[in-house]
Amino acid sequence: MPPQLPIIIIGAGVAGLTLAQSLHELHIPFEIYERDTHISRVAGWGLTIHWALPALKSCLPPPLYQRLEEIQCDPQQGVKDTGRFLFLDLKTAEPRYVIPPSPRLRINRLKLRDLLVEGLDVRWGMAIAGFEVWEEGVRVRFDDGTVTRGSLLVGADGSGSRTRRFLVGEEVGRLNQLPVRLIGVTLRLTPEEVKPLRDIDPLLFQGCHPDTGDYLWYSILSTPEVNGSMGGDEYYEGQLNLSWIVKSPEDEVPTSNNDKIAKMKRMASNFEPRLRKVIQEIPEDSEALEIKLQDWPTRDWKSPGGRVTLIGDAAHAMTMCRSSIS
């Protein structure tokens, strides 16, 4: 009997690595390819895992799943977390909605990827160039001319998935630009500065301004225990994003970093005092990043011979931090 062809995974992000760990645990042969040359090239802030926790637990080897607690943004809060999700009125900082609590982990995205890659043989620097289905499986071609064969091709190559575009066509598979813009910064806060935010919620909260539709997301990235400042010049790191609806050319993201920071401060002028203060005290030399808000709503795709499929953002590219369109 010929050996079983491997499952070919394209993309070594969170979804691709999770699938690979599950296949490894089940002793199912696989190969995983990533276009980046090394794992450290991918940046990121934090990641909240809540409703997906049971599914993630079922995919990972138990020792690996247990180590998720080691990469929490705030390990102490993780011990006593309420699991609640607040959506605030930014004018008053009062909750408009409280999503029913559920178990959650707020973890560092880069550390999660470092954890998930353990024990896996990722083929780095390999970008998919196309595929062909044949009787016994699928042939996958890469930009460097390499060809591999597998029983199944799984596109886990993110929101801009090449696999998706090869599968459904360039026009159908491309991302949709939303009429919303976003700027994000990483804050470095003293214990005194972070306290008003942690009083609202120790881990994260979000909200929208009722008059402007401007949206805010805040979450903790690290505590003194995590960033190594405990017992010295202690500080916290937080992720703060603002997004807004584009109604005219004046609503586009400014070009210079200083102008991005200035725009964030203007937007916060009518926020509740605690929220306004933390934004208006952002240092002028902070790096302000624009995040493109694009999506690809899931739609039917034909899987030739049942040999090609998509997972994660390749299958359903959702945006982060959208303001209300209504």
Which residues are annotated as catalytic? 215
Give the three-class secondary structure for 46: strand
Spatial neighbors of 316 by CB under 8 A, at least 6 apart, are 296, 297, 298
CA 121 to chain centre: 23
Cα 6–Cα 12–Cα 17 angle in degrees, nearest 5: 70
Across the strands, what pairs with 239? 186, 219
279/268 Cα distance (integer angstroms)? 7
Burial class (CB in 10 A: 0-12, 13-18, 19+), 273: exposed
Could you give the residue ranges of the DSSP H alpha helices within 184-272? 191-200, 224-227, 257-267
What CA–CA distances, in Å, run from 112 to 60, 167, 193, 205, 206? Answer: 12, 29, 28, 21, 23
282/177 Cα distance (integer angstroms)? 28
What CA–CA distances, in Å, run from 27 to 23, 107, 157? Answer: 6, 28, 23
9/23 Cα distance (integer angstroms)? 11
Count CA atoms closer than 13 A to 83's CA, side-chain side.
Answer: 10
**Phi and psi torsions of 117, nearest 5°:** -80, -10
Locate 244 and state its tokens: 């807004």
2/85 Cα distance (integer angstroms)? 52
